[in-house]
Structure 1
Amino acid sequence: MDISKASAKARELVERVEAFICEEVIPYEKDPRNHGHGPSEDLVRELRARARAAGLLAPQLPKEWGGYGLSHTETAAVFRASGYSPLGPVAMNIMAPDEGNMHLLEKVATVEQKERFLRPLADGTARSAFLMTEPDGGAGSDPSMMKTVAVERDGEWIISGRKWLITGAEGASVGIIMAKTGDKATMFLIDMETPGMQIERILDTIDNSMPGGHAVINLVDVRVPADQVLGAVDEGFKYAQVRLAPARLTHCMRWWGTAKRSHDIASRYACNRQAFGKALVEHEGVGFMLADNEIELKQAELMIDWCASVLDDGKLGTVESSMAKVAVSEALFRVVDRCVQVLGGLGVTRDTVVEQAFREIRAFRIYDGPSEVHRWSLAKGVKHRYKDRTATAANPA
């Protein structure tokens, strides 16, 4: 990756991360503890111990929380390097949902809440879950459909409902629950061992890179003290955007690294595999696919960096992050799809990481908002900007 224009701090970090991923993390990819529902807790602890020793744990956090205080642009370079292995972000404690939850807590939580809930996440000694998505016609891409309800009673809140696709819930100690409070929504911080928090099952999903998998959770009269409201009551939808806009972008950063790894594997294979008297790369059908990969990886990198610069300028970047989520997720999927094709039979085996990359990035096109929802949101912006134009302006000669 081109880091020539990055700060000296970012360049040094990227070089360290690249070495760490290649030398210490990639060898764990075949570890039996890396299974169908993500890396086990034991494997997560072992990987994070290595990252901690290398000084690479949660580098994006402010210095007071053990990080390097990176800008979004610097974070982009470091996160892309981390994603060269699907286990890299887990090792470095920058994987979803923890990375997004730490960002939200750092922005919204009280001093006391940060010490209780953020500190162990930043230290890499705890994991977290974000409980928003619901089954049975509840909240998904349309959060206004939320059915989980929180009712205030005698100085505490009682939460009831059902959540699903809750990443990392099994094994997590910290949870952020989003629930309806009247016609609005509020976020609550919770210990995942609180009575009434019932993990119904762990779903079998196409992806398996995130510790704890994706769970279905029943919330049965879960009692939350008033001092565990995150931010202000009724401001949950606003805080969701504080979390989700940057989180969409950091997903793009991490999966870019995985797509680049897949491209490297496919390119080496194509340059060394012979067929019909010459290397595969010399056949236009293969060479052009790899050329298209080079183009789309660079376009995705530029899109990520542009969006990161918007965030660095102090803007929330909801529109920009939607654009990046659509463009990058779909481009990276085309990249890994071509890699599978170039590798042929090898590409559908687990002898390389390309097969996992294909599955993971296919799922990425759905979570944090499917492409169609982001396009719909962007189209509403087009309508808003152009609906009041005069007939002449709207229909130029």
Structure 2
Amino acid sequence: MFPAVTPRAQHLIDTLKRFVEEECIPVEARYAKELGEGADRWKNEPPVVEELRIKAKKLGLWNLFLPKEYKESPGLTNYEYGLMCETMGRCPLAAVATNCNAPNTGNMEVLAKYGNDAQKKKWLVPMMEGKYYSAFAMTEPAVPSSDATNISCKLSHTKGGYLINGKKWWISNSGHPKLKLFLVMVRSGKTNEELANSPGGIGLKDIHNQHSVVIVPSDTPGVRVGRPLHVFGYDHAPGGHCEVTFDNVFIPHENMILGEGRGFEIIQGRLGPGRLHHAMRTVGVAEKAFDIMIERAMGRVIQGQPLVEKGVIMDWIAKSRIEIDTARLLVLNASHAVDVKGARRSKKEIALAKIYVPNMALAVIDRAIQVHGAMGVCQDTPLAAMYANARTIRLADGPDEVHGYQIARNEIKIAKARLESKL
């Protein structure tokens, strides 16, 4: 049984729905026009974004993502935010308009949870005010980053602080004109090879204590933002997902978050909610695609009969509704589990949603594309972009296979314990 939503939260949910439908969706075309073309698309954020942000603040729709256990929080539960986040998924502008866009949300939660008072004052407060953007630099091109113990960007000690050397890629927001800081996952200890070659390989037990997370201002000498990587042809300007090189980048000791060797503790605290936020929004994306599919089927006549009356289309509509509602329940269940047990003890619930929701969305969007025919794969509908984005979620924050492996391993562990208890 899910908890009741508080009257205040219900008011925000209703207000957000109106804001997205009446303010955000109607200016999508204006946003595209203001973004411009070519290199100009990376120079400035379209002015309409700030206009939306001003409206969102006045309505109290600001920083909704941060759970109520933080003093900086607006006081909502993850479950309540899950209901709101689905609404945001209906329009790409909604999350940024409410200061709830990734990766800013994850970075703000890291600073709120693990940052010291000085770090919060310098970095968290301005981010929560919406003054600038941030990026999380973890994935690397030279190693299989789905196993984060392979991360090799090196942190070394030097007088007064540290030096960072390495290359990252797929760093979201790294091309944004308002970018001010990176949170960077670095190797601050031994390599995996060194741990494996320790006497008896005993060093491997410390494999998750070899990394740290540090704050790197984006204008630090030695930080070079390279080419934006395209997602099925989309470059996602003005933020993008760029390659970033750190070449003898100096940072002072006070830019270390929590302490050396605490990187895995931090990223687990960050990625759990982050995975859930992606799933929450993706349910909203699927609902939007579902609406687009039905509207097209109702308005298209084939051989004198509305397309919506064809048996195959009715079957697609029924399947889509079942799959979307199933996905929503998985997301809300995971959100409630995090509220009750915390993210660390809700790994199974989060993983179930993380795997199921993007695959569900891809199926629904694909049907909507099919109903539109050739129109579905061109720029005349948002479906192609929706499909490209949903497909990347199967890789972001860990691929399906990694989460599936963890689910299966835990289920096998439970089964073994049950069988052993019968002996």
Q: Residue 321 of structure 1 is aligned with which of 333, 350, 363?
A: 350
Q: Counterpart in 1 of 2:276?
A: 249
Aligned with 2:341: secondary structure? Answer: coil
Relative distance call for 1:227 and 1:298 in structure 2 (3 A) is same
Q: Match of 2:108?
A: 102
Matches within 5 A, 1:19-98: 19-30=18-29, 31-34=32-35, 40-43=44-47, 44-61=49-66, 68-98=74-104
Residue 180 (structure 1) aligns with: 187
SS in 1 for 2:182: strand
Q: Which of 166, 169, 173 is matched with 1:168 structurally?
A: 173
Mapped to 2, the partners of 1:202 and 1:277 lie a distance apart of 48
Name the structure 2 match of 1:141.
Answer: 146
C-alpha contact (below 8 Å) 1:39/1:209 kept by paired residues: no
CA–CA distance in 2 between the matches of 1:361 and 1:35? 25
SS of aligned partner of 1:93:
coil
Aligned to 1:123: 129
Whole-angstrom distance in 2 between the partners of 1:47 and 1:108: 30
Give the secondary-structure state (helix, strand or coil) at the position aligned to 2:92: coil
Residue 226 of structure 1 pairs with residue 253 of structure 2: yes
Q: Which residue of 2 aligns with 1:271?
A: 298
| Shift in Å, 1:319 | 2.3
The code of the aligned residue for 1:10 comes to A
CA distance 1:16–1:210, shift in 2 (3 Å): farther
Letter in 1 for 2:24: V
Letter paired with 2:170: L
Partner amino acid, structure 2, of 1:89: A
Among 267, 272, 277, the residue aligned to 1:240: 267
Q: Following the alignment from structure 1 to structure 2, what is the Cα–Cα distance between the partners of residues 94 and 48?
A: 11
How many residue pairs were aligned?
391
More off after superposition, 58-67 vs 41-50: 58-67
C-alpha deviation, 1:274, in angstroms? 1.6
Whether contact under 8 Å (1:96, 1:210) holds in the other structure is no
8 Å contact kept, 1:35–1:208: no
Report if the CA contact (8 A) 2:67-2:78 is conserved: no
Structure 1 position 203 matched with structure 2 position 210 = no
Q: Matches of 1:362 and 1:274 in 2, distance apart? A: 31
From the superposition, tell whether residues 147 and 371 of structure 1 become closer, same or farther in structure 2 (CA, over 3 Å).
Answer: same
Deviation at 1:51, TM superposition (A): 2.3
Change (3 A) 1:211 1:72: farther
- The answer (yes or no) to whether the contact 1:60–1:69 under 8 Å persists in 2 is no
What is the identity, as a one-letter code, of the residue corresponding to 1:379?
A
Range moving further from structure 2, 253-262 or 40-49:
40-49
| Map 1:344-355 → 2, pairs under 5 A | 344-355=373-384
Report which stretch shifted further, 66-75 or 226-235.
66-75
How far 1:10 sits from its partner (Å)? 2.2
Residue number in structure 1 paired with 2:391: 362
Q: CA deviation at 1:5?
A: 4.9
CA change 1:342–1:393 in 2 (3 A) is farther
Q: Supply the distance in 2 between the matched residues of 1:293 and 1:5 (Cα, whole angstroms).
A: 27
Distance 1:22 1:39, change over 3 A: farther
Q: What is the match of residue 375 of structure 1?
A: 404
Of the structure 1 ranges 172-181 and 6-15, higher mean CA displacement relative to structure 2 is found in 6-15
Contact in 2 for aligned 1:167/1:210 (Cα 8 Å): no
Correspondence for 1:7 = 6
Q: Which runs of 5+ in 1 are unaligned?
A: none
* Candidates 218, 235, 243, aligned match of 1:192: 218
Q: 1:58 to 1:340 in 2, by over 3 A?
A: same
C-alpha distance 130-210 of structure 1, shift in aligned 2 (>3 A): farther
Query: Larger deviation: 357-366 or 158-167?
Result: 357-366
- State the secondary structure of the residue aligned to 2:76: coil
Judge conservation of contact 2:231–2:389 (CA < 8 Å) in 1: no
Partner of residue 315, structure 2: 288
RMSD: 2.5
Contact kept, 8 Å, 1:241 with 1:318, in 2: the verdict is no
Distance change >3 Å, CA 367–CA 266, structure 1 → 2: same
Q: Which has the higher helix share?
A: 2
Change (3 A) 1:329 1:151: same
Measured after TM superposition, the shift of residue 50 of structure 1 is 3.3
Do the aligned partners of residues 379 and 324 (structure 1) sit closer, same or farther apart at CA in structure 2, a change above 3 Å counting?
same
* Separation in structure 1 between the aligned mates of residue 411 and residue 90 of structure 2, nearest angstrom: 36
Give ranges in structure 2 of 5+ residues lacking alignment: 191-209
Residue type at the aligned position of 2:50? R
Query: What is the rounded CA distance, in whole Å, between the counterparts of 1:366 and 1:290 in structure 2?
Result: 27
Contact 1:197 1:219 in 2 (8 A): yes
Q: Distance in 2 between matches of 1:211 and 1:318?
A: 33
Q: 1:221: Cα distance to partner?
A: 0.9
Match of residue 331 from structure 1: 360
What do the CA deviations read for 1:364-386 (whole angstroms, capped 9, x no partner)? 11111111121122222234334
